[in-house]
Amino acid sequence: MTWRKLFLLTVQLLSLKTCNAESAIRDPSIRIASLLMRVTRKLDTIYKLQEEVMAELDEIHSLRKISEDNGEIKQTIHEVECTGGVYSFDRASSFRSANETVAMNNGHVVRLDDILYGYDYLFEQKHLFSAGSWLGVQSQQDPWDLVAIQQLLWDVKPKVIYDIGTNVGGSAILFAHIMSQYAKPREALIVSIDPKDFAVNWDAEAQRLCPRCTAVADNPLWGQYVRFVKARAVERSALAALQEAISTFGGPVLISVDGWHRYAEVLKQCQVLSQYVTIGSYIIVQDTKLDRFLRKAGPRRAVYDFLKNNTDFEIDKSREAFLYSQHTDGYLRRIR
């Protein structure tokens, strides 16, 4: 039912005193309008209560003085567990169609964004990010975004990919796999950066969730297409490797930002590395969804602040092809 129709029916309903009440009850559209008004009023109450619960949880959190040094992912899970599944009416959602509601067959009326948030909740709480693999290598990419990234890589065909956050090589190996379909070894390169050894997974749950996963070094694509540098993304040795790759292979150059998802680090990485991205190519800022879990500035805010002072990039919403994305507003295309 369109809002215009609902409005007309509401007017009709309000003027019931002039109508025959009995026929109104028999008219299903009037009954629907009446029920919709009641549901809307009740939903407003639910959202208000959720807001109050979240404000109280906020106070609990600030009293507990959660340490900034605990690590973003740890905090994310902690945050989710603390809320016990209660989640807020997120006005900051950047999902398209977020505020559309859907009536479930169990009588619940929920916002589309609530459903998507529920999936995000499971993804973090159950460590589903460690359940996936690509060519046998544990990869922490969300399946929806993985397809979107595959489409993007195929369109751009980058000669150099700067892969921030190797972990055990999951993103590097899938980038290499796609790269191998448009470039031969020694025609293109992935510079994969991590301060930690790629033989060790940061997530202790990964072994349990991906028991059949194998070491990335066993995959020939690793040797053919990936140069691993044990460093932080904006450290001199890592930048030197990136510059060397660009002078050897040229462009397009693409950056994937998937280290720890702290606001300051992500902002710095965008600021320092944007100069290397070629026009038409991208910075992919991953896990922008974490801002709403952490309920503080994270990668998504870093994107907005980066764009305030850099007009060479714009958010490419067309890359969120499945509407659901864990990197909402994180696909940044260089336009000039």
Ligand X SMILES: C[S@@+](CC[C@H](N)C(=O)[O-])C[C@H]1O[C@@H](n2cnc3c(N)ncnc32)[C@H](O)[C@@H]1O
The contact set with ligand X (CB under 6 A) reads: 139-141, 164-165, 167, 170-171, 193-196, 202, 232-233, 258-260, 265
Show the CA angle centred on residue 239, arms to residues 235 and 245, nearest 5°: 155
Strand partners of residue 54: none
Nearer to ligand X, 89 or 132 (CB): 132
Looking up tokens 């500035």, which residue turns up? Answer: 297
Measured from the CB atom, the residue of 164 and 179 that comes closer to ligand X is 164
Closest CB 146 distance from ligand X, rounded Å: 9
State the nearest-atom distance from the C-beta of 140 to ligand X, in Å: 4
Could you say which DSSP state residue 278 is in? P
Cα gap 111→92, rounded to integer Å: 14
**Which residue, 93 or 171, is less far from ligand X as judged by CB?**
171
Spatial separation of the C-alpha atoms in residues 97 and 100, rounded to whole Å = 5
Give the DSSP letter of residue 167. T
The encoded tokens of residue 131 equal 């359940």
Nearer CB in complex with ligand X: 164/303: 164
Q: Report CA 55 to chain centroid distance, whole Å.
A: 24
Residue 66: which residues within 8 A CB-CB, separation 6 or more? 75, 78
Instruction: Tell me the longest C-alpha to C-alpha distance in the chain.
Output: 83
CB of 188 to ligand X, least distance (A): 19
- Mutual orientation of helices 3-14 and 28-64 as an angle, nearest 10°? 110
Smallest distance from ligand X to CB 130, Å: 9
For residues 191 and 241, the answer to whether their CB atoms sit within 8 Å is yes
Q: How far is the CB of 134 from ligand X (least distance, A)?
A: 9
Sequence-distant (6+) residues with CB within 8 A of 251 are 158, 159, 160, 278, 281
Which residue number, 30 or 213, has a Cβ lying nearer to ligand X? 213
Q: Hey, is 298 helix, strand or coil?
A: coil
Chain centroid offset of residue 280 CA: 21
First to last CA, the chain: 44
Least Å distance, CB 74 to ligand X, is 12
Q: CB-wise, 93 or 133, nearer to ligand X? A: 133
Q: Toward ligand X, which CB reaches closer, 76 or 93?
A: 76
CB 50 within 8 A of CB 85: no
**In this complex, which beta carbon is closest to ligand X, that of residue 132 or of residue 252?**
132
Closest separation between CB of residue 228 and ligand X, Å?
11
**Least distance to ligand X, CB of residue 171, Å:** 3
